[in-house]
Amino acid sequence: MSDGALNPSAELPRARRAAVGRSLGGAVRKRIGANASLTLGCVIFGTMLLIAALASVIAPFNPDTQDIPHALTAPGVEGHLLGTDQLGRDVLSRLLYGARIDIFIACGSVLFPFAIGLIVGMLAGYRGGWVDSVLVGIIDIVFAFPALVLLVALVFVLGPGIGTIVIAITLTDWVSYAQLSRTSSRREGTQEYILAARTGGIPTRRILFRHVLPNIIVQPIVLATSDALLIIIAITTLGFLGLGVPPPAPDWGTMISEAQPYLNVQWWLAVAPGVAIIITGLGLSLIGDGLAAKLDVR
């Protein structure tokens, strides 16, 4: 599952975009709809960022303070609004601090692969020839490895930690962006406006960043917004193997896996971080949809 999570199909965001386009009839409604999803997405994700930034202010307890006698209390007891976990730590506080770590990792793990993949893909697709062959070879090799195995190996080598996770995900995840942008750059590269820029003597780097990039960037952006969520889930998998965010730092994925034994009795331990992931994901998806519609000005 995590294998797929790290290499989401490129078709996914496109299919979703198409579905949104079809479900809303008429130009006016489309426009409002696009802006509405962007606005709503920004509000949701903005709230998440705010929570992450203010975690130390709004959290009622220290997220790392253990209190074994009061482990696994029900929500609402003794001021623990969401109860406590198996070590007696306040779940709400851990949830709020977890936003900080998870959103930081997700943003870093999206930004770097996004930038690297986009540039590599553009270069391969636009230049073609041996440059393309070499870069596609590298992309295929990375793709051929099960992403999780590569991730685990990298984390082992580099030692667990937040920075390690970002680096490891970057090294495995850039290929999705590279492949996506290579295909569209290849298509754009034969368009007459690119030929016109070439005959007009515009330097290659300028053609890539000013002419090709604005016309291919929508799909990678949409991919990035769904990717961010999948990365949070991937961190869970790493946490399960003991390679995730090092304890006691709170993160949603680890919280879910730690709550697994108590699912029958204390289900909220797993559900609370689950809901946090869903809400974040919803916000990111809405931003992705909204941006896709807004940027598509052709």
Which residues are near other proteins by CB under 8 A?
Answer: 27, 30, 191-193, 195-203, 206, 210-211, 214-215, 297-298
Token pair recorded at residue 271? 């559900």
Least distance between other proteins and beta carbon 118 (Å): 16
Say how many residues make up the chain: 298
Rounded Cα–Cα distance for residues 106 and 209 (Å): 25
3-state secondary structure of 202: coil
Least distance between other proteins and beta carbon 141 (Å): 18
Q: Give the residue with the Cβ less far from other proteins, 16 or 198.
A: 198
Q: Give the residue with the Cβ less far from other proteins, 27 or 57.
A: 27
Least distance between other proteins and beta carbon 210 (Å): 7
Q: b/e per residue, 132-171, with b = 16+ CB within 10 A? A: beebbeebeebbeeebbebbbebbeeeebebebbbbbbbb
Q: Is the peptide bond prior to 146 cis by the omega test (within 30 degrees of 0)?
A: no
Token pair recorded at residue 207? 């053609």
DSSP state of 161: S
Measured in degrees and rounded to the nearest 5, phi and psi for residue 297 equal -95, 0
Q: Give the residue with the Cβ less far from other proteins, 11 or 192.
A: 192
Least distance between other proteins and beta carbon 135 (Å): 19
Which helix (H) or strand (E) segment holds residue 227: the answer is helix 218-240
Q: Give the residue with the Cβ less far from other proteins, 90 or 188.
A: 188
Q: Give the residue with the Cβ less far from other proteins, 130 or 157.
A: 130
Least distance between other proteins and beta carbon 296 (Å): 9
Least distance between other proteins and beta carbon 203 (Å): 7
Q: Give the residue with the Cβ less far from other proteins, 180 or 218.
A: 218
